[in-house]
Each structure stands twice: as C-alpha cells, then as structure tokens.
C-alpha cells in the first residue's frame, strides 16, 4: 500500500465510499419528436407502420368529448387514417382516407409488402380480419389476407423472419378470460393461412409485449384475466418472460416489474429487447382513476445471452401505454397512446434504445 499523506488518504477513502454508496443516476432515453398527429386528443390502440417511406397510422380509440369514462364519457373507435412523409424534414401529417372499419387494439407490423393490420375490435365485437395496407403516396390500398382462426384483440405479436406470430388476447370485448393461443402466418406461403402452434404453457394474457430476438419469439408481461364475483374481468399483473423457438416454449428470467400494454412490438437493438413503460399495477387501489399519477417512465432491457433484465433509462415526460412501436432506421417511432386512464396523447416520438 503506498504511503499517502494523511489528508490525501482521507480524501481518497471518501471518494471510494462515495462510489460504493451513491447509486448511479438513471439516464433519460434519447428521444426526438415528430409532428403530433392532427387530433386534439390522440389515440390509444392505433395501427401504425411504414410503407415506402411513409409513416401510416390509423384507428384506435379515445374519448373525443373529453369526458372520462368514470364520469359517463363514451369511448369511440375510429377509422381515420394519416400519413407522414419521413423523407421530408418539414413534412406534416395528411389525412389520407379511412380504414376498412373503425378498429383498435390489434397488432400492427411493418413488413416489406406494407403495414400488416391484424385483428382488433370495437365496442361491440373483436375481429378476425387481417389486412395488408399499402400507400402509393396519394391514396391507401387494403389487401385482404387470411382471417385469424378466432376474433382477437389486445393480443401481442411480432415478425420473426418472414413468419408472423400472434399470441394471447381476448375473443370478445367483455371476455373475463384471455386465451393462451398461439398462431403463425408465413408471409411467403400466404395461401397456407394461419397455423396453430403450441399454446403458451401458462395463463392466457392480454396486452403483453413481444419481440423477435434472432429466430425466437419473446413474449413478456401482460395481464391475466379471471372473473370476479360479478363475472367481470379481474386483472392479474404478470412479470413472466417466455421464448418460443424450435417449436417449443421455454421460460426466461422474470421481469423486475409488471408491464401491461407497453409499446409493442418491443424495440430491439443489438439483440436486446427494450420494454418501454407499461402499467406496473402499482396504482390499482386509488379512490378514483382521476388520481392516477401516470404510468412508469422506466425502460427495461432484456439480454437473452445473460438471460437477465436491467433498467435502461427512462422517458422524459408522460409515458404512454397501449401504443404501437414502429421500427425506422436505427430508431423506433412511438405513436400516441394513453398517458393516464382515459387520457390520450397526440405526441409522436422517436426512441433510440
């Protein structure tokens, strides 16, 4: 041990103790802003994706009169469709038409052919419809693909190679139990339709998030549903992580917290999966939903090599849930979402993991 002068030694020891006992500051995520969608409220559960350099976004639901549901407000599902030219620096959103029907809370995936819109529903029914949406810069087109085997909303999904995977969800809007079903559609063999794969070997769930990590589908979080004494759905907040590869499911490390309705499909970078926000279930017993403080801003990162979760910074400002994440270059576009119960945002952000 070097013979430090007494004062120098004291300062050195103090510095060592500070490093040992001072937690590192949590970095904020790198975010950029795109123009807000031209709607005063914004949408939760919208479909969004990219085709030919245009961000296409439509559908979803909100409370257009501004009255919250616990005060008698009516939730409205939309068919409005918008486009934003991502190749033009000062581009503005254009309203380019309508979806085939008002719908929300399905799965949207960006593919080489266009934006794949899967299932979803409205106030009265959930849908089996699967549609490929394209855009020629002037008007949208909708191409019908094989229907889902069952109607589904609030499921999760991801594109693994050229195979679309869908997992979980509910078949009717008032369902008190969720499915653990798992289906796949090969985009190179469309005529073969959806194929039933081994179901998730756990409780059915809604509002999980999914990602493609290599040749594996990873499903994380979400919530189970069980009927309460009145037959209404009661949520169970989940921290499980599952991987499907080689025809079989395997259980991975649990998340450090629950995450329901996080941005999906989950952003992926350098082989790691990022769970952005999500309802952590810590504000369930409030006297009124109006007292909700907003959803967690925390971002979680999953490393499949280490089979471990860690914190990876946090969002600045209100954190959205029930929103699509759209891959674009080395970033992900986060389109609108819900920032408090009943409250949407028209914001559109660029997230770089």
Domain count, the chain: 1
pLDDT single digits (tens) 53-103: 999 999 999 999 999 999 999 999 999 999 999 999 889 999 999 999 999
Range scoring the smallest mean pLDDT among 11-20, 207-216, 246-255, 344-353: 11-20
From its phi and psi, is residue 136 left (phi > 0), alpha (psi between -120 and 50) or beta? Answer: alpha
pLDDT more than 70, % of the chain: 92
- Asked, for residue 27, whether it belongs to a domain, the answer is no
- Per-residue DSSP letter, 215: T
Residue 151 lies in a domain: yes
Instruction: Count the Cβ atoms, other than its own, within 10 Å of residue 253.
Output: 15
Residue 338 falls within a domain, yes or no? yes
Q: Which SS3 state, helix, strand or coil, does residue 169 take?
A: coil
In a domain, 216, yes or no: yes
What is the mean pLDDT of the segment spanning 128-132?
A: 98
Q: Is residue 25 part of a domain?
A: no
Predicted confidence band of residue 16 (pLDDT cuts 50, 70, 90): very low
Here the CATH number for the domain that contains residue 158 is 2.120.10.80
Residue 33 lies in a domain: no
What is the DSSP secondary structure assignment for residue 291, as one 8-state letter? G
**More confident of the two residues 29 and 253:** 253
Residue 28 forms part of a structural domain: no
Cβ proximity of 132 and 115 under 8 Å: yes
Is 211 a member of any domain?
yes
**For the chain, percent of residues with pLDDT exceeding 90:** 89
Q: For 297-353, what is each residue's pLDDT tens digit? A: 999 999 999 999 999 999 998 999 999 999 999 999 999 999 999 999 999 999 999
**What's the average model confidence in pLDDT over 146-171?**
98
Segments forming the whole domain that contains residue 160: 42-352
């Amino acid at each position: 041990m070097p013979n430090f002068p007494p004062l120098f030694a004291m300062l050195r020891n103090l510095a060592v103790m500070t490093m040992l006992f001072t937690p590192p500051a949590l970095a904020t995520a790198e975010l950029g802003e795109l123009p807000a969608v031209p709607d005063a409220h914004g949408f939760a559960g919208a479909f969004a994706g990219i085709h030919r350099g245009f961000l296409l976004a439509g559908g979803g639901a909100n409370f257009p009169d501004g009255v919250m549901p616990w005060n008698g407000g009516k939730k409205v599902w939309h068919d409005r469709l918008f486009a934003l030219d991502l190749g033009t620096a000062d581009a503005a959103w254009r309203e380019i038409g309508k979806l085939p029907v008002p719908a929300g809370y399905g799965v949207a995936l960006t593919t080489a052919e266009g934006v794949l819109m899967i299932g979803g529903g409205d106030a009265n029914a959930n849908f089996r419809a699967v549609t490929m949406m394209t855009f020629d810069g002037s008007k949208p087109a909708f191409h019908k693909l094989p229907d889902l085997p069952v109607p589904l909303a609030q499921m999760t999904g991801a594109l693994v190679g050229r195979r679309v995977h869908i997992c979980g969800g509910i078949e009717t809007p008032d369902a008190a139990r969720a499915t653990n079903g798992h289906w796949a559609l090969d985009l190179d063999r469309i005529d073969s339709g959806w194929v039933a794969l081994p179901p998730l070997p756990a409780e059915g769930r809604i509002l999980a998030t999914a990602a493609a990590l290599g040749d594996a589908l990873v499903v994380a979080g979400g919530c189970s549903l069980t009927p309460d004494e009145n037959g209404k759905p009661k949520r169970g907040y989940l921290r499980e992580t599952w991987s499907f590869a080689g025809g079989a499911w395997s259980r991975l490390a649990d998340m450090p917290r629950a995450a329901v309705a996080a941005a999906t499909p989950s952003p992926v970078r350098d082989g790691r999966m990022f769970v952005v926000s999500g309802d952590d279930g810590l504000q369930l017993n409030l006297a009124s939903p109006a007292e909700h403080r907003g959803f967690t801003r925390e971002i979680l990162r999953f490393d499949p090599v280490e089979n471990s979760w860690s914190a990876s910074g946090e969002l600045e400002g209100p954190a959205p849930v029930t929103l699509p994440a759209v891959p674009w270059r080395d970033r992900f576009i986060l389109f609108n979402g819900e920032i408090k119960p009943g409250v949407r945002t028209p914001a559109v952000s660029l997230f770089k993991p």
